[in-house]
Amino acid sequence: MSSFKNLKRLIKIQHVLVGYGLDELIDKTGYLKPLKYLFLLWPKRVNKKLPLGQRIRKALEELGPIFIKFGQAISTRRDLLPLEVADELAKLQDQVPPFPKEQALEMLAKEYDQPLDELFSRIDNEPLAAASIAQVHSAALMDGQEVIIKILRPNIKNLIESDVAVLHILARLAQKYWHESEQIKPIEIVNEYEKTIINELDLKREAANTTKLKRNFSGSDLLYVPEIYWDFCRTNILVQERIFGTSIRDIDTLKSSNMNFKVLAENGVEIFFTQVFRHNFFHADMHPGNIFVLLDDPENPKYAAVDFGIIGTLTENDQYYLAENFLAFFEEDYRKIAQLHIDSGWVPPDTRVDELEIAVRTVCEPIFNKPLSEISFAKVLISLFNTARQFNMEIQPQLILLQKTLFNIEGLGRQLYPELDLWKTAYPVLKEWMGEQMGPRAILKDFRNNLPLMRQTARNFPKILKHLSQQAAGKNDNDIQLIQIQQQISQQQQKQFYIGLGITAIPSSVLIYYLASLPWIAYSLLLIGVISLYKGKPT
């Protein structure tokens, strides 16, 4: 039955695309191409003379949330899309037809199980915004606090699960028949996308994300994050402080307020890199519909953001290799870029670093002949990924959200201030972060974090020796010799442990003494290092 539903959905997709005159898209779906001619016999529902962007937008709206989210993702890439198409797709961000207000109020009353007028002094009937997964109503609490109420669309989970099942079918077909699937990993990408969009259906999770981001930017002059009212939040309902900022898309209002667009654009870049590298917790759905500007101080503008359903994080290794790659781009160190791709495992370990360096240089040299303010970092990444695929680079699913967010930030920044020098703004943030990761405080932090493991390892050596000696009792000479060899190996391992501890602790003590001005810690490490080297000396 499930397979039949999936087939019906695939046919529905074909039908909608043909109905909106998007025949050229169907030619790319191969195995269902013959159905195109059947649908062409049916009456057209839409005049093909309508603008292409409008037809694409209407088709995506009819196909539902998964496809609306796709349209949202690409709407900010004005450097890759015709402006007419980008303008239409931008309407998907908060101009999706709402569900009836009576249904919204009924859902609220059911979840709270008490009269709404006992919880809210006002709930506006008309939605403030309607998106693909939820819609938002403005309201006020009993104490007069202005809030917004975000409510999931009815039956949205079933609809999304149905479309995700279709995406899994398409991914498996691609994995089987598409020669580039080994590098692209379509199944893993769909798995990652499914996890992301399912997470969006839990509004308590979004509330928790919002709270953490607010804490991360507490006291910041760059970004304001609204307050969450936890007593009113449910899995399908979120209540938070209402933001009275100006939409980032309202350029006319921003201009009339004498906004400093250069600072505004640069602040957006700094917010992104701060989230990724300092906090390792970044807003991964920063399309213009989710971003506002507070006009209190136009010379030093401050952002306000909403909708934290999609959050990205990275492993420590990914953070390190990304930062090193970015810095290598800035410094035009192409060999380092090639080596980092190999060290990180993004390309096979047997890749020749000199050949990859030449390929990277071929992409980057023409680009760096331009002023930095004219370089699109998004286009650089696309070119580098295309080049690396020649060396069997695998798509890293964990980096997809990061890449999408970076593309959005650059696209938005260049809209606000076309001369934006993304590199100049990002470079000092990355340089400072790398310094913190390699500095004495980082060494001390690593040492402190590993101290319990070192202590436990040292404690276990006597137990291991005792266990081996007990096993030796009653054994023959060969067994005893084997035990003696094992004991010698254990002793050598113990000595190596102490030597490693000593040669780590002593240089760390010197660095901390001269750079961190923490003499008591430095002396303690020095003492630990000397004792460790003594214990590890050859007998």
Pull the structure tokens for residue 94. Answer: 């908060």
Give the residue among 156, 159, 140 at the shortest CA–CA distance from 148: 140
Alpha helices for 91-155 (secondary structure H): 101-112
Closest CA to 351 of 399, 389, 315, 395: 389
CA angle (313, 171, 191) in 5-degree steps:
25
Q: Which two tokens stand for residue 489?
A: 């190996």
> Taking a C-beta distance cutoff of 8 angstroms, is the pair 397, 188 a contact?
yes
CA distance linking residue 42 with residue 46, whole number of Å: 12
Cα(318)–Cα(269) distance, integer angstroms: 19
Q: How many CA atoms lie within 13 A of 389 on its CB side?
A: 15
Distance CA 338, CA 427 (A): 20
Q: For 205-225, b where at least 16 C-beta lie within 10 A, e where not — what string?
A: bbbbbbbebbebbeeeeebbb
Please say whether the beta carbons of 221 and 92 come within 8 A: no
Give the number of other Cβ atoms within 10 Å of residue 154's Cβ: 15
Please identify which residue in the block is written with the tokens 């603008």.
51
298's CB contacts (< 8 A; 6+ apart) are: 257, 258, 259, 260
Of all helices (H) and strands (E), which one includes residue 292? strand 291-294
Please say if 446 is a catalytic residue.
no
Q: Which tokens is 436 given?
A: 């913190």
Q: Which of 94, 163, 285, 318 is catalytic?
A: 285
**CA 387 from centre of chain:** 23
Structural contact between residues 271 and 301, judged by C-beta atoms closer than 8 angstroms? no
Which residues are known catalytic residues? 285
